[in-house]
Every structure is written in structure tokens, then in C-alpha cells.
Amino acid sequence: MQQKSGRSIAVIGSGVAGLTAAYLLSGRDRVTLYEADVRLGGHAHTHFVDDGDGGVMAVDSAFLVHNDRTYPTLCRLFTELGVATQESEMSMSVRADDIGLEYAGALGLSGLFACRQSLRPRYLRMLSEITRFHRAAADLLREAAGDDLETLGEFLNRHRFSSYFVDFFITPLVAAVWSCAGGDALRYPARYLFVFLDHHGMLSVFGSPAWRTVTGGSTTYVRAVAARLDEVLTGSPVHWARRVPGGVLLRSGNCAPRLFDAAVIAVHPDQALLLLDDPTPWERAVLGSIPYSTNRAQLHTDSSVLPRHRRARASWNYLVSPGSEHVMVSYDITRLMRLGGKRRFLVTLGGHHQVRPDSVLAEMTYSHPLYTTESVAAQRLLPTLDDDRIVFAGAYHGWGFHEDGAASGLRAARRLGGDWPAAVPREAVARC
């Protein structure tokens, strides 16, 4: 690798935020990437499994889809790296066993009316409430920003949406998208949520972007970034990082402390606080106000977690669990990634009690940011934490998705003087 004359920069964390920052800084600086796990990528997690025909299949289990409309940073990264993508399909089902309801959105009338329960008046009323919800949410966004403290639950009560709509449409939607419990979904700040839904074309029946998935699994982009870096250290948790007059001193494993000119801390906010040797009161206040939820996930082949009616089966499949403190959603990876082979691969969050043990291929734990009025207020203050030695990055700087992580990595790199290596035509990026 060509010797670089720039600064030495440590990037702590190899999720999409750390990978993006490391890639952009590596053009002129000497970058060392630290990852506590033995695997790079964070939520870019690809498994290589038996496809049922004697071959090996690449199957993703966390980051699954993106689009060229609302993922511009990620698409630019893929274009820079030459990462191939392909069309995917985004649809969502809801299954409520206690009332016998199963339906799917984005699959036409056959999905909406997949079972007898969908002919009942309260279900038909729910469908009519969807367009009313879209209008009410759009009206709120047109109003001058004022009471940003109103939660989704309070908004729904104020507009007198039925409990059926709340339980079987909006709560499953928000809980599935953010991998959170139903109660946490209703505590989401309404305006902040609606900005996201509007941005993704989800405040209308039509207009959603075309979704894509990474050909060969998301590990392809992870490997492409790692190959461009000066030093990649896996299984190397950073125990502490300390600002010193000459830059940033950090220690990992049993190694002696190393001095870097600057560092990007691209881990979850609670982890960032733990590794800062002497966090300021301001860092404690801001980073300590952004909580996460943790979910057990299983990669498996047990199709019993899907809706019983085949017409109601979708890419994302939410199971209503009354009284549960955890989300249960199953992603049909075969459908999302358009996989061949005899086996149908699924990833289920929160369903360890429902998935047949003999069907499980891998078990994982994933964490996702929780959004409350307090955490959104803290999020707006995150840029005030950065200085010339330490900058922070992570999907928690935005809505918690892969694009948010990539965009925060771009901002972190720019704060330290890095940027895209060359101009790429917009039409090239749009083909990602």
C-alpha cells in the first residue's frame, strides 16, 4: 500500500458509520480501524449457509434493503466501491392470532383481503382510517414547528383513531420498522416520525421508492472498504480513549497505549461513554440520553412464523403479541434478496419461543436506538460534542438506519478534513 503523509486516525467501530468514515479518511490519512468483535460490519451481517442443493448461499440478517431516493450517501459509497445491487420487494404483513386477522400491505387486494376477518366492519374501517392518518400527519408537518413533544400515542388519541387501527396498523408498522416494543412505538415523537414517513413515501398509498439489496450479501461492501485501509484490527476492543495535547491516546487489548492525531468514535452512545477516559458532563448528558433496545434474532427455516394464509405473507411479517414487552417480526430473506434454492430463509426478532429449535441456523443479538422526545432533543445536540481530536458517528445521529450511519460517517470524516475521493455523476449514483 502506498505510504501516506497524512495524519494517523483511529476509527473505533466497524459498523456502516465507522466504515464510511474510515474509507473517506483513508484517501490521505493513515487509518487504523478497531473492532471489538471478530467480525467487521455491525448490522452488515452476512451468513453463508447450505442452500439445500449442495451449494452455499449468502444470506443477510440485519441490514437488508436500501433505495436510491433516501439513501444517497450509501449509494455513493456503493458506487465508489463498485458494489452490485439488485431489485428487492418491500411489503409487510400483520398477523393477530387472538382475533384471526391476517393481511398484507403493498401486495394488492389479495393481500388486504387474505382472510375472512378482513371482511368485518372494524377492519374495513381501519382501511379507511389509513388515508385519514396520512392526511392528519401531513397536516401536522405543514404546521409551523411548535409542540414537538407530542408523541405518536398522544397524536392518535387527539385525532380519535380507533384502537383497532392503533393495534393492528400503526403500532405494527412503527414497531417493525424500528424493531421496538409496541409501547415504545407509541412513545415515538409524532413530528419526527412523520418526517421520516413522508421522506420515504409512506404518507400516501402510492409513491414508495424502489428498494434494492446488495448482490452477494452486504459483506461485499464491508470487505471492499477493509481492503482499502492501512490497518484493520478485529477482536480488539478499545478499553479507553483519552484526549491529550498531541491528539488522542487509546488502549486496546494488552497492547501499550497508542497515540493518534484524531479518532472517530463510531459505536453506540452508551459504549462511547464507557470508552471515553474522562467524559465531560456535557458528553454524559447528551450521549446518556439516547437509549437502545436489544433484540434476540434467529436465522432459520421455520415458515410457521409467517401468516397462515399464503396471500398474507410478505417481506416483513409482524406478529401481534398482546401484552408482550418485545417486538416479534419475521423477515423473509429469500423474498427480500430474491434467493433461489429449495430452502426458505427467515430472520425473526423476538421469536425464540416460537421458532423450532431444529430450524435455527444462527442466533444473533442486535440493538436499535429508541426514539423519545428526550432522545430526539439530545440528538440535535450531538454536533456540539465534536472537536479536532474526537468526533462521534453512528446511526443514532439520524433515524437509526444504514443511511443514517453512512451519513454520520461522512460528516465525521469531513469534520476531520476527509471527503469523497472524486466526483461521481449523479446518474451513476442513482443506479446503485
For 43-55, write each residue's pLDDT tens digit.
Answer: 999 999 999 888 9
Residue 405 domain-assigned? Answer: yes
| pLDDT on residue 145 | 77
Q: What percent of the chain has pLDDT over 70?
A: 96
CATH number at residue 416: 3.50.50.60
Residue 64 has pLDDT above 70, yes or no: yes
Residue 424 has pLDDT above 70, yes or no: no
Q: Span 194-221, mean pLDDT?
A: 94
| Overall number of domains in the chain | 1
Per-residue pLDDT tens for 116-150? 999 999 999 999 999 999 999 999 999 987 768 89
Residue 107 domain-assigned? Answer: no
Residue 230 domain-assigned? Answer: yes
Q: Span 355-367, mean pLDDT?
A: 98
Residue 315 has pLDDT above 90, yes or no: yes
| pLDDT on residue 430 | 47
Residue 35 has pLDDT above 90, yes or no: yes
Neighbours of 108 (CB within 10 A): 11
Residue 389 has pLDDT above 90, yes or no: yes
Q: How confident is the model at residue 12 (pLDDT cuts 50, 70, 90)?
A: very high
Residue 164 has pLDDT above 80, yes or no: yes
Q: Span 223-246, mean pLDDT?
A: 97
Residue 426 has pLDDT above 60, yes or no: no
| pLDDT on residue 325 | 74
Residue 198 has pLDDT above 90, yes or no: yes
Q: Span 403-417, mean pLDDT?
A: 98
**Average pLDDT over the chain, rounded to an integer:** 95
Structural domain harbouring 390: 8-45+67-85+216-290+372-429
Residue 193 domain-assigned? Answer: no
Q: Span 247-265, mean pLDDT?
A: 96
| pLDDT on residue 301 | 98
Residue 422 has pLDDT above 60, yes or no: yes
Q: Span 77-103, mean pLDDT?
A: 97
Q: How confident is the model at residue 326 (pLDDT cuts 50, 70, 90)?
A: confident
| pLDDT on residue 343 | 95
| pLDDT on residue 429 | 54
Residue 242 domain-assigned? Answer: yes
Residue 227 has pLDDT above 60, yes or no: yes
